């Protein structure tokens, strides 16, 4: 009888979790390589991963050509569907609109306000800069459905212009999961509304990124799925409730400190594909693992050497998290690249998808902490 009660409780708890499957799709780099346009594009749009973390306003257009995970949400009544990147490094939701004439809007789903009975115009215009480019548009209000959770009167952006590089991206828009303090126009983020309206059982969400297969990755709203990790969850307090920012003590290879000497800050960011740090530190890391870096900052290795390359350990708030070469090297028909990208600041590292694939990440907004556990 006791086991029956426990089982019932587990079933009830699992029903409180709201899941958004993430599809691992083709990256912009892959799509452009297949068309023979990658070299031209990377010259036109240099990679500036810190662009979305620069709060000073206008930045030149940049790109993250290796983002590959996206999920489907809907907006409006009746619902209109959009694929979005779930981005813990930004805080706004926006999608393309029928009022957008940019090339990037032409090959994506576009929101039509006139087809939604619950749509209302917001009062302000909107301009957002990302590592992938920029968008301008207008604020709007409508019902947003995410993983079976319906958020009424959610403020979001509908784009009127989008930067050219975004035409190469699979996702239509972006759903930001960072804090309201960094949201453009101080808009209340989707997840904050879920929490304040009692639509999730716990004020947390978690992210599982599958390494190889196209299926299996997901964002879970309202808690943790224990099938996605092994061992214990290590909890790390946030140093700033803006991005999901934590303390990093060092980066070591074979016991030697190779980067972040003396400590630094890091962001756990699902909306950045690589691990990004200051140019000098990243160059040193790539040198230690035997990579050669081209003029664009891409670090290539001999695919035959992956089995002999060293692990890289990131120590976060006193806890060691190790990434093997099989995880930090990406292998395609065009060769092998490390997942260590230049362009970070001395103050701020980005631990992107390369890191999150190895460590299931739990984002607890109330306790302002991040949980990390070895991915199953």
CATH number at residue 241: 2.40.70.10
The answer on 61 and 196 residing in a single domain is: yes
The two tokens of residue 122 are 């917001």
Q: Among the ranges 3-17, 55-69, 274-288, 334-348, which has the highest mean pLDDT value?
A: 274-288
Portion of the chain with pLDDT greater than 90, in percent? 59
The answer as to whether 9 is a domain residue is no
Can you give the pLDDT at residue 15? 52
4 falls within a domain: no
β-pairing, 369-375 vs 359-364, is: antiparallel
How far apart CA 313 and CA 250 sit, in angstroms, is 8
pLDDT, one tens digit per residue, over 287-344 is 999 888 787 778 889 999 999 999 999 999 999 999 999 999 988 777 899 999 887 7
What's residue 272's pLDDT? 87
Residues 132 and 48 in one domain: yes
Percentages helix, strand, coil for the chain (3-state, rounded to 5) are 20, 40, 35
12 inside domain: no
> pLDDT for 106-132, tens place per residue?
989 999 999 999 999 998 888 877 665
Catalytic residue among 192, 269, 298, 364: 269
Determine phi and psi for 304, rounding to 5 degrees: -70, -15
Is the sign of the CA dihedral 154, 160, 163, 169 positive or negative?
positive
Residue linked to tokens 């400590």: 263
Residue 151, CA distances (Å) to 82, 125, 179, 202 in order: 16, 22, 17, 16
Stated pTM of the model: 0.89
Which of 46 and 258 is assigned the larger pLDDT? Answer: 258
Q: Rounded to whole angstroms, how far apart are CA atoms 321 and 232?
A: 13
Lookup result for tokens 């960072």: 178
Q: What is the mean pLDDT of residues 232-256?
A: 96
Helix or strand run (H / E) with residue 162 = strand 149-162
Between residues 15 and 324, which one has the greater pLDDT? 324
Q: Which residue is it, tokens 């260590």?
A: 340
| pLDDT reported for residue 202 | 95
Same domain membership, residue 232 and residue 199: no
87 labelled catalytic: yes
Closest CA to 201 of 15, 337, 339: 15
Identify whether residues 159 and 238 lie together within a single domain: no
In this prediction, residue 21 has a pLDDT band, given cuts at 50, 70 and 90, of confident
269, 177: one domain: no
133 and 93, same structural domain? Answer: yes
Nearest to 245 by CA among 274, 267, 276, 264: 267
The active-site residue out of 66, 87, 142, 172 is 87
Average pLDDT along the chain: 86
Query: How far from chain centre, in Å, is Cα 266?
Result: 14
C-alpha dihedral sign at 184, 248, 325, 258: positive
């Amino acid at each position: 009888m006791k086991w029956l009660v426990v089982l019932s409780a587990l079933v009830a708890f699992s029903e409180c979790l709201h899941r958004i499957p993430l599809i691992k799709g083709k990256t912009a780099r892959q799509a452009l390589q297949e068309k023979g346009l990658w070299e031209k594009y990377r010259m036109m749009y240099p990679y500036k991963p810190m662009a979305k973390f620069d709060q000073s306003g206008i930045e030149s257009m940049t790109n993250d050509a290796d983002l590959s995970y996206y999920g489907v949400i809907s907006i409006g009544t009746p619902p209109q569907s959009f694929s979005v990147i779930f981005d813990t490094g930004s805080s706004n939701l926006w999608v393309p609109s029928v009022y957008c004439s940019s090339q990037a809007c032409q090959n994506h789903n576009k929101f039509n306000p006139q087809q939604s009975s619950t749509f209302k115009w917001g009062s302000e215009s909107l301009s957002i800069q990302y590592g992938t480019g920029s968008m301008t548009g207008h604020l709007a209000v409508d019902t947003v459905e995410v993983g079976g959770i319906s958020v009424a009167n959610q403020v979001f952006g509908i784009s009127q212009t989008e930067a050219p590089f975004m035409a190469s991206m699979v996702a239509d828009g972006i759903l930001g999961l960072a804090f309201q303090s960094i949201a453009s126009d101080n808009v209340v983020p989707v997840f904050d509304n879920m929490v304040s309206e009692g639509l999730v059982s716990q004020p947390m969400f978690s992210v599982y990124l599958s390494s190889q297969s196209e299926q299996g990755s997901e964002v879970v709203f309202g808690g943790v799925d224990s099938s996605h990790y092994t061992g214990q969850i290590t909890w790390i307090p946030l140093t700033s409730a803006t991005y999901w920012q934590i303390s990093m003590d060092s980066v070591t290879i074979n016991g030697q400190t190779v980067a972040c000497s003396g400590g630094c800050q890091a962001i756990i960011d699902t909306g950045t594909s690589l691990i990004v740090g200051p140019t000098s530190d990243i160059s040193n890391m790539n040198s230690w693992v035997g990579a050669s870096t081209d003029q664009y900052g891409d670090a290539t290795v001999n695919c035959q050497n992956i089995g002999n390359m060293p692990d890289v350990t990131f120590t976060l708030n006193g806890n060691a998290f190790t990434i093997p070469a099989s995880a930090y090297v990406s292998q395609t028909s065009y060769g092998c690249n490390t997942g260590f990208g230049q362009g970070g600041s001395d103050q701020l590292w980005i631990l992107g998808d390369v890191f999150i694939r190895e460590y299931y990440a739990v984002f607890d907004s109330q306790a302002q902490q991040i949980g990390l556990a070895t991915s199953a």
